[in-house]
Structure 1
Amino acid sequence: MDLVLFDLDNTLLAGDSDFAWAQFLISKGVLDREVQEAKNIAFYEQYKAGTLDIFEFLDFQLAPLARHSRAELDAWHREFLQDSIRPMITAQARALVNQHLERGAIVAVVTATNSFVTGPIVREFGIPHLIATIPAQQDGAFTGKPRGTPAFKGGKIERVEAWLESLGLYFGSFEQSWFYSDSHNDLPLMQKVDKPVAVDPDDTLRAHAVKRGWPVISLR
């Protein structure tokens, strides 16, 4: 049996769900365009540069969840999924996921983007497991803060190992372990698995993959 892990943004998706969610809320008038759009773009550039302070970003990204009811957020997310996310899902991405599922692998998405945004997207792919940054809740409402370790950089390894342990498994339980990602931020987890695959990679990851002889593919 194989373990197959996928990054989500700019890997399975031809775009970034975190960035797109904030832009969607701006377009709805939920967030102030003048203030929030500049911050959203700045954080995205920091992520691409590898300089993102994940906790500073999560203060920005999770705050809107705390200001609105879950019913309202869920309604917005259904619109977001239809209008913003489905156009980012390519036939190649669906086919790759289905290929691993049909072979009986344990398949999961491992993403720094929070589970409220990513849960419905992962279900859209038919992927049974999600390891994501978790928005904290109190009395059924989001608090605007994360709970536990964010699934970012080395935190992805910690979160995956805890998830596997909850299943009575560990990395050595599998014949092969795979991780598909576009980002150099994911190098810690890519170096942990047997078969790292660079997907439409950024320049830093592409150079690393070429040097290490890792496969480089496109799902676009």
Structure 2
Amino acid sequence: MAKKKLTLFDLDHTLLTGDSDVLWCDFLIRRGILDRAEFSARNADMETRYKAGTVRVREFTEFYVSTLAGRSPEEWEPLRREFLDVEIVPRIPDAARELVEQHLASADLVAMTTATNRYITELTARHLRIEHLIASEPEVVGGRFTGRTSGTLNMREGKVVRLHSWLASRESSIASFEVTAFSDSINDLPLLLAADRPVAVDPDEKLAAWAAEHGQPVLRLR
């Protein structure tokens, strides 16, 4: 009996031309919500070290989650929707949309898995008609974001941990599926190694070298 299919999509620089966290930070700086002198250089530094695969997981994730601190999800909602419309939707290539639609039509289960926090990315997942989202979780206490995260961060090895937890919550396991995973980043190598069919999408230099060495497919969406 053939296994069911599970398709996993990274978001930033995979389905999206850009990084949601970096774009969100730049968006808030332009709106005057974040101080340019304080956040601009740190934002650029985080992006550089993420691409190099050298940034610490908690440092990276909580820097961006900290931008939400002090407001409720309801207070952020108008800006979150504007961010989707202005910054995210124009950066989703047609080829990425077509790839998602192809797998929605043929795969038993499709999920987006991203290091970016859930609040910033859930509208993107909905826009792409991806029902299931595995993301880093921003902490909310008393109805307001604290600027900290909750639970296992969905980055590097954490993506595999969270994948197993998500499947277990569905009373399933990775062994039940033929798994395809799409990503651009060496940071996602643990996830790609957990898949039956890893696909490097417009890969960074380190991931491109890994794909070439191991004979893995490379896909260009941009």
Instruction: Give the TM-score normalised by the residue count of structure 1.
Output: 0.97
SS in 2 for 1:8: coil
State the number of aligned residues.
219
Query: Which residues of 2 match residues 160-175 of structure 1 at below 5 A?
Result: 160-174=163-177
How many Å apart are 1:104 and its aligned residue?
Answer: 3.6
For residues 1-220 of structure 1, the aligned pairs below 5 Å read: 1-174=4-177, 176-220=178-222
1:132-164 CA-to-partner distances (Å, cap 9, x unmatched) read 000011122111110001001000000000000
What is the CA–CA distance in structure 2 between the aligned matches of 1:215 and 1:82, rounded to whole Å? 32
Gaps of 5+ in 1: none
Q: Secondary structure at the match of 1:145?
A: strand
**Contiguous gaps of at least 5 residues in structure 2:** none
Amino acid at match of 1:193: A
Aligned partners of 1:97, 1:153: CA distance in 2, in Å? Answer: 22
Q: Distance in 1 between matches of 2:107 and 2:212?
A: 29
Between the aligned partners of 1:14 and 1:89, the Cα distance in structure 2 is 6
The DSSP-based 3-state class of the residue aligned with 1:11 is coil
Which structure 1 residue ranges, 4+ long, deviate > 6 Å from structure 2? none
User: In the TM superposition, what whole-angstrom CA distance separates every residue of 1:19-58 from its partner, at most 9, and x where no partner exists?
Assistant: 0000000000000111200000001111011111122223
- Structure 1 stretch displaced more, 53-62 or 70-79: 53-62
Q: How far 1:69 moved relative to its partner?
A: 3.2
Following superposition, the deviation at residue 105 of structure 1 comes to 2.4
Aligned residue for 1:20, secondary structure, equals helix
Give the Cα separation in 2 of the matches to 1:189 and 1:75: 33
Identify which range, 70-79 or 30-39, moves more after superposition.
70-79
**1:61-99 C-alpha deviation (Å, 9 max, x unpaired):** 112212223223111011111110011111111111111
In the alignment, residue 152 of structure 1 is paired with which amino acid? M
Q: Equivalent residue of 2:114, what SS?
A: strand
> C-alpha distance in 2, partners of 1:90/1:58?
25
Q: Cα deviations across residues 86-133 of structure 1 (Å, max 9, x unaligned)?
A: 111111111111111111420001110000100001111000100000
